[in-house]
Amino acid sequence: MQKRIIGSLVATSLIMAGCVTINIYFPAAAAEKVADKIIDEVWQLKPDTKPAKPSPENKGEVK
Amino acid sequence: MRHLTKLFWVVLFAFAGSVFAAADLEVNTPAISALKASMQARHNRLSSYYFSGAVGQARDGNVAVHDASLVPLAERQNVNGLVAEENRDRTALYREIARANGHPEWEAEVRSTFAQRWIDKASGGWWVQNAGGAWVRK
């Protein structure tokens, strides 16, 4: 009985480990989220806003 | 027998926990915080070069000198130094994020995600490198 439980414990662990290995791909969405957060902090931007463009009248027009 | 069953559930939940944890990325480590602080402090010195166009956001997740002629000769050494320091920090940041999440092999993907976001979030007037490698002004 005890052997069977140990056996099923090992089997389940292996199966779950297999699933985890297969399913762990690069979490692109999560990476984008942390990238945005870190960039906002480094560049001192307000979260969820695009940086304001410098006002056009102060910027020499490049034609 | 009883505690074996208990152990079975513990193992099961531990795996379930690790699966859920995979949905988010860990970035709260001392190494990452230190890198962020260092880059934040440097940004004040770099941003004027971003606005002048001397330095731009490269497509590889680094910064690069886009037009050195916009910098007075005496300052050029300083700009090159800032660019090199910034790129060292950015490389370390990508590596630390990958490592903090137990997947050092993710470094290249972390880098390309950041590369895109630095460019997307760059302020109007800054120079960025497009997918073809050409420099464009935002």
- The strand order across the sheet containing B135-137 reads B63-65, B55-57, B127-129, B135-137
Q: Locate the DSSP E strands across chain B.
A: 55-57, 63-65, 127-129, 135-137
Residue A10 lies in a domain: yes
Residue A27 lies in a domain: yes
Task: Please tell me the distance in Å from B71's CA to the nearest CA on chain A.
Answer: 18
Do the beta carbons of residue B22 and residue A24 sit within 8 Å?
yes
Counting as low any pLDDT under 70, the low residues of chain A are: 1, 17-23, 47-63
- Tokens describing residue A8: 């099923």
CA atoms of A52 and B124, how far apart (whole Å): 7
pLDDT higher than threshold 80 for residue B30? yes
Chain B nearest-CA residue for A45:
B121
Residue B101 lies in a domain: yes
Biggest CA pair distance of chain A: 84
Q: What percent of chain B has pLDDT over 70?
A: 85
Residue B19 lies in a domain: no
Residue B71 lies in a domain: yes
CA-wise closest residue to B29 among B18, B17, B37: B37
A18 touches chain B (CB under 8 A): no
Average pLDDT, chain B: 91
Residue B112 lies in a domain: yes
Q: What percent of chain B has pLDDT over 90?
A: 83
CA-wise closest residue to A34 among B27, B129, B115: B27
Residue A63 lies in a domain: no
Domain count, chain A: 1
Residue B104 phi/psi, 5° resolution? -55, -25
Residue A13 lies in a domain: yes
CA atoms of A5 and B78, how far apart (whole Å): 67
Residue B124 lies in a domain: yes
Residue B41 lies in a domain: yes
Residue B104 lies in a domain: yes
Higher pLDDT among residues A63 and B16, named by residue: B16
Residue B15 lies in a domain: no
Chain B nearest-CA residue for A18:
B15
Residue A54 lies in a domain: no
Q: What percent of chain A has pLDDT over 90?
A: 32
Domain count, chain B: 1
Q: Could you say which of B7, B114, B137 has the minimum Cβ distance to residue A35?
A: B114
Residue A6 lies in a domain: yes
* Residues β-bridged to residue B57: B63, B128
Selected for mutation to probe chain A from B117, B126, B138 (highest A CB count within 10 Å) is B117
pLDDT higher than threshold 80 for residue B70? yes
Q: B5 pLDDT band (50/70/90 cuts)?
A: low
Residue A31 C-alpha from the chain's centroid:
3
Give the mean pLDDT of B36-47.
97
Give residue B67's domain range. Answer: 27-137
Residue position matching structure tokens 């560049």: A43
Give residue A26's domain range. Answer: 2-49
